[in-house]
Structure 1
Amino acid sequence: MGAIAEAFRTGGIWMYLILAVSIFAIGIAIERFIFLFFKYNINAEAFYLQVQKLVMANNIDRAIKLCNAAPSAALPQVVKAGLTRANKGEVEIQNAVEEASLEVVPRIQKRTNALAALGNIATLLGLLGTILGLIEAFEALEKATPENRQRLLARGIALAMNTTAFGLIVAIPSLLAHLVLSGQTKRLMDEIDLYSVKLENLLVSRGKGGVAEE
């Protein structure tokens, strides 16, 4: 702890700015992880197969209840919108699914990209601290008296190195978290795109009698 306290003392305000960025990044990463991997997530294939069986059995009400059993998951919200228009025309089904998707997708995407921005900000703050520390060190070589030169030079180099290191310590995990969460975001969106189209085709086929034939 003493070494950390000393690093913050020599790093000055830049260390505290990077610390503030790290707090935001940790908060966003935890919140997005909980939502994307737990709240919005569902076994999409198994869920759709259950919905498909119920629709083919002409049991739309039970299919809607199945969606209500996972009210926070993203895909069931979109599927439910289509099921509520199951007895309408093709256009109404498509409009309902698209409207639900437009509501759900922004909630899946929000704040994830902020992690990449925070990682870049931490890096830039560390770089700025590095430049100012080097400027301070060069000024010490040029202007300081011999008895103060070594102390000021060490302080400038410490500012440069500490801010660089802390900036990278914050930036690297932030960018890794962004990579993982972006992958999960894309997976959820791809599932919505895939199974919403499958649902539309299923309901339209049902309306034309195709499901009954199956």
Structure 2
Amino acid sequence: MLSILQAAGWPIIPLLLASIVALALIVERWLSLRVARIAPPTLVDEVIGVTKSHLPTNDTIQKLADNSLLGRVLAEGFKVAANEPRAPEARLRQALESAGRDAVHAMEHYLNALGTIASAAPMMGLLGTVIGMIEIFGASGGGTGGGTDPTQLAHGISIALYNTAFGLIVAIPALMFYRHFRAKVEAYTLTLEQAAERMVPHLLKLTGGRR
């Protein structure tokens, strides 16, 4: 593998860097988009059960915000309910929606960079191949001999194609994980929206706010 990379020349260096960045982004998003860190399945039921008859204390609200992104969204609703007694439904929805947008933005962090690598890697590989082909034909055309060795020419072309192959090797997994993470973000977004819809009537019941 090392000899192949050396033979491919300097155009493969950006692809190597892109592969390292893509791997780091995949690992980071894989860890960050776990269910426990985004939307624990029983969190809404637990919160509603604990706060059936009263609003939670500030310490409890802070612990809820630190629990997960869903907890952060729910905590914003409780903060408004605690700071603005009898807050109307529109105010509660506004707070939950604003927190939800922040949560979605956090989930989408680095995804654009991963998508850019998935899109650019094949073109970077193709550029490396084109540069290699230019060098090969330039060298073979500039000689003073009677002809070009077909075997040597074929070997040079195969080496130039390493860049294209490596670009695809980088792009395909990056694109697959990008699509996977995008699907997870969309599913989590729906979960956050459904949780917010459940919390609005619960908060109105606790605060006596108007619809």
Please report the TM-score for the alignment, with normalisation by the length of structure 2.
Answer: 0.82
User: What residue is the counterpart of 1:24 in the other structure?
Assistant: 21
User: What residue is the counterpart of 1:92 in the other structure?
Assistant: 91
User: What residue is the counterpart of 2:115 in the other structure?
Assistant: 116
User: What residue is the counterpart of 1:191 in the other structure?
Assistant: 191
User: What residue is the counterpart of 1:78 in the other structure?
Assistant: 73
User: What residue is the counterpart of 2:173 in the other structure?
Assistant: 173
Aligned length in residues: 205
User: What residue is the counterpart of 1:41 in the other structure?
Assistant: 38
111-120 or 129-138: which moved more? 129-138
CA RMSD of aligned residues (A): 2.8
What is the CA distance between 1:94 and its match in structure 2?
A: 2.2
CA contact (8 A) 2:54 2:206 kept: no
- Matches of 1:85 and 1:98, distance apart in 2: 12
Indicate which of 9, 14, 22 corresponds to 1:12.
Answer: 9
1:59-103 deviations in Å (ceiling 9; x for gaps) = 321797277156151000000110122343123322322332233
CA contact (8 A) 1:21 1:122 kept: yes
Give the partner amino acid of 2:200: E
What is the CA distance between 1:147 and its match in structure 2?
A: 7.7
What is the CA distance between 1:5 and its match in structure 2?
A: 1.8
Task: Please state whether the residue corresponding to 1:160 is helix, strand or coil.
Answer: helix
What is the CA distance between 1:28 and its match in structure 2?
A: 0.9
| Structure with the higher helix share, 1 or 2 | 1
Give the partner amino acid of 1:130: T
1:5-60 deviations in Å (ceiling 9; x for gaps) = 2211221111111000011111111111111116632323x1111222233x2132
1:114-161 deviations in Å (ceiling 9; x for gaps) = 112112221111111122223334445544344883376245313322
Report % sequence identity.
Answer: 25
Give the partner amino acid of 1:33: W
CA contact (8 A) 1:133 1:160 kept: yes
- Matches of 2:21 and 2:95, distance apart in 1: 36
CA contact (8 A) 1:137 1:154 kept: no
- Matches of 1:54 and 1:202, distance apart in 2: 12
- Matches of 1:66 and 1:47, distance apart in 2: 13
122-131 or 153-162: which moved more? 153-162
1:157-214 deviations in Å (ceiling 9; x for gaps) = 13322101111111111111112211222222221122112211322244459xxxxx
- Matches of 1:72 and 1:17, distance apart in 2: 39
User: What residue is the counterpart of 1:156 in the other structure?
Assistant: 156
Distance 1:207 1:72, change over 3 A: closer
CA contact (8 A) 2:65 2:73 kept: no
